[in-house]
């Protein structure tokens, strides 16, 4: 059974890894994902999206020293988003609802507006997303679902509204006080954009985001346990 909670900020960012173009010398995996980059702690893959075969969804994974609550605290700290989400201009919570479920789990449903800086010759982009967090009571795995709500909020002048935004975060408890953080996401940048530029930037951006994430999540500021997240205790 899952605890349902929700968060809105990760969605903003985490989604930023919009699409990707296949770079040179990438390895194809049996699962259909192509390897973009692999370091000691971070791996990034890509594959054509179901929505648009010319655009790619991305997958990233890292293993780091942190608690489950620490990652959710990082996502909730919208004021710090520009320090770890690559190319993000701002993240604003438009609406948040807190609901107590029958099983006493907590559910948050938030709508978030995220703006991204422009990279010449591409115009500034924005997205509106809705997110929900669920935690499996037995495995303690935290799942964060992010969906596109861009058609529900009026567009802002000067920004091109991204579309078909979708993402899933998985935070898996590991040994020795570590967690495995996985992300799969896609977003269509919309507008008239050179795909080779957008796709190349997307791969670089998600990698940079994960580099920043692994450092930020270790901060003492984020280690406070959350009442709606069951952290794993290590003896």
Residue 162 CA to residue 98 CA, distance in Å, equals 27
Residues 61-90, mean pLDDT to the nearest whole number: 93
**Residue 190 in this model has a pLDDT that exceeds 80:** yes
Q: How many CB atoms lie within 10 A of CB 21?
A: 18
The pLDDT of residue 213 is: 96
Q: What is the DSSP letter of 40?
A: S
- Sequence-distant (6+) residues with CB within 8 A of 102 are none
pTM: 0.83
When pLDDT is cut at 50, 70 and 90, the band that residue 55 belongs to is: confident
**Residue 136 in this model has a pLDDT that exceeds 80:** yes
Residue 150 CA to residue 154 CA, distance in Å, equals 8
When pLDDT is cut at 50, 70 and 90, the band that residue 8 belongs to is: very low
Q: Answer for the pair 178, 64: CB distance below 8 angstroms, yes or no.
A: yes
When pLDDT is cut at 50, 70 and 90, the band that residue 98 belongs to is: low
- Domains in the chain: ranges and CATH: 2-222 (3.30.530.20)
The pLDDT of residue 133 is: 85
Residue 203 CA to residue 123 CA, distance in Å, equals 18
Residue 137 CA to residue 163 CA, distance in Å, equals 33
Residue 208 CA to residue 205 CA, distance in Å, equals 5
**Residue 143 in this model has a pLDDT that exceeds 70:** yes
* β-sheet bridge partners, residue 122: none
Ramachandran region, residue 75 (left: φ > 0; alpha: ψ -120 to 50; beta: rest)? alpha
- Looking at the chain, the whole-number percentage of residues with pLDDT higher than 70 is 81
Residue 13 CA to residue 8 CA, distance in Å, equals 9
Residues 94-119, mean pLDDT to the nearest whole number: 72
């Amino acid at each position: 059974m899952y605890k349902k909670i929700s968060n809105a900020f990760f969605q903003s960012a985490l989604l930023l890894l919009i699409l990707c173009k296949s770079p040179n010398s990438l390895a194809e995996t049996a699962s259909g994902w192509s390897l973009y980059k692999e370091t000691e702690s971070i791996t990034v893959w890509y594959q054509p999206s179901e929505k648009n075969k010319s655009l790619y969804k991305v997958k990233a994974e890292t293993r780091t020293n942190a608690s489950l609550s620490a990652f959710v605290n990082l996502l909730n700290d919208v004021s710090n988003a520009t320090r770890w989400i690559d190319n993000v201009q701002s993240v604003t919570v438009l609406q948040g609802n807190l609901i107590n479920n029958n099983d006493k789990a907590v559910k948050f449903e938030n709508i978030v507006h995220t703006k991204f800086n422009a990279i010449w010759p591409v115009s500034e982009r924005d997205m509106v997303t809705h997110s929900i967090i669920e935690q499996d009571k037995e495995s303690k795995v935290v799942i964060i679902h992010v969906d596109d709500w861009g058609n529900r909020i009026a567009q802002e002048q000067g920004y091109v509204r991204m579309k078909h935004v979708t993402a899933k975060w998985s935070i898996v408890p590991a040994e020795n006080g570590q967690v495995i953080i996985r992300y799969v996401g896609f977003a269509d940048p919309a507008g008239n954009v050179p795909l080779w530029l957008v796709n190349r930037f997307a791969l670089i951006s998600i990698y940079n985001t994960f580099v920043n994430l692994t450092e930020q999540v270790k901060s003492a500021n984020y280690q406070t346990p959350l009442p709606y997240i069951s952290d794993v205790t290590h003896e």
